[in-house]
């Protein structure tokens, strides 16, 4: 039996609930692939250049810091580069600069979180839909048993139960990977946010001596 034949058989077993769960599984897989591709191609989670720029800045090598920040088109490095450029301008209001950098950082995190809500929704709804399919299947099974009357065949009930439980199995099979993927992706975004906050804090609190003298003048 080919994969398509199995899907058709599964659909006939569980009906529309199975079809909906299969559509949700395809959607969840698409979301995960898109989010991983987004991370790989945008370099949003790569912090090497940003960390090097902060180290150079706090060591007083301002030109090297800006060079590191502009050496790669990474969102984190670009954010740190804007902060460094702002701190080098004597007339820049530091409080407003910190607010602007924080806002831009939150914008980056929001972009990375796009698509995670539907994934979380699929993870929550899949087992409930599986349970709904089970309840509906059990109702059909007992109705079939009732129609047979005194000549009821246990095979009728067992077949109905098998059909009903198949929806629960599919629901869990969709929900478990969706929960794992959603948790992993959200953890990555949260970790990135913590790292960006730490780098920005280090940038503003460990200003090198030349800029400290400029700020006091």
pLDDT band at 215 (very low <50, low <70, confident <90, very high): very low
pLDDT band at 125 (very low <50, low <70, confident <90, very high): very high
Mean pLDDT of 189-199: 91
Q: What's the whole-model pTM score?
A: 0.77
Mean pLDDT of 112-126: 92
pLDDT in tens, 26-50: 999 999 999 988 888 877 788 888 8
Predicted confidence at residue 34, as pLDDT, reads: 92
Domain of residue 141, residue span: 3-216
Predicted confidence at residue 78, as pLDDT, reads: 87
Predicted confidence at residue 181, as pLDDT, reads: 93
From CA 183, how far away is CA 56, in angstroms rounded? 34
pLDDT in tens, 105-114: 899 899 888 8
Tell me how many domains the chain contains: 1
Mean pLDDT for the chain overall: 81
Q: Is the pLDDT of residue 11 over 60?
A: no
pLDDT band at 12 (very low <50, low <70, confident <90, very high): low
């Amino acid at each position: 039996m080919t994969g398509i034949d199995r899907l058709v058989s599964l659909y006939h077993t569980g009906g529309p609930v199975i079809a909906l769960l299969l559509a949700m599984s395809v959607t969840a897989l698409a979301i995960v692939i898109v989010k991983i591709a987004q991370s790989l191609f945008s370099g949003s989670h790569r912090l090497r250049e940003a960390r090097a720029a902060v180290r150079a800045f706090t060591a007083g090598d301002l030109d090297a810091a800006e060079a590191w920040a502009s050496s790669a088109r990474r969102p984190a490095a670009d954010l740190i580069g804007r902060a460094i450029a702002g701190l080098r301008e004597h007339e820049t209001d530091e409080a407003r600069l910190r607010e602007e950098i924080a806002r831009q950082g939150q914008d980056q995190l929001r972009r990375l979180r796009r698509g995670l809500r539907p994934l979380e929704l699929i993870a929550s709804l899949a087992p409930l839909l599986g349970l709904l399919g089970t309840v509906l299947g059990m109702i059909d099974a007992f109705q079939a048993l009732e129609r047979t009357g005194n000549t009821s065949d246990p095979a009728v009930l067992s077949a109905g139960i098998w059909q009903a439980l198949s929806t629960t199995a599919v629901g869990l099979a969709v929900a478990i990977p969706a929960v794992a993927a959603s948790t992993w992706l959200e953890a990555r975004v949260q970790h990135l946010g913590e790292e960006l906050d730490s780098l920005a804090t280090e940038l503003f609190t460990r200003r090198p001596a030349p800029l400290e003298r400029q700020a006091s003048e």
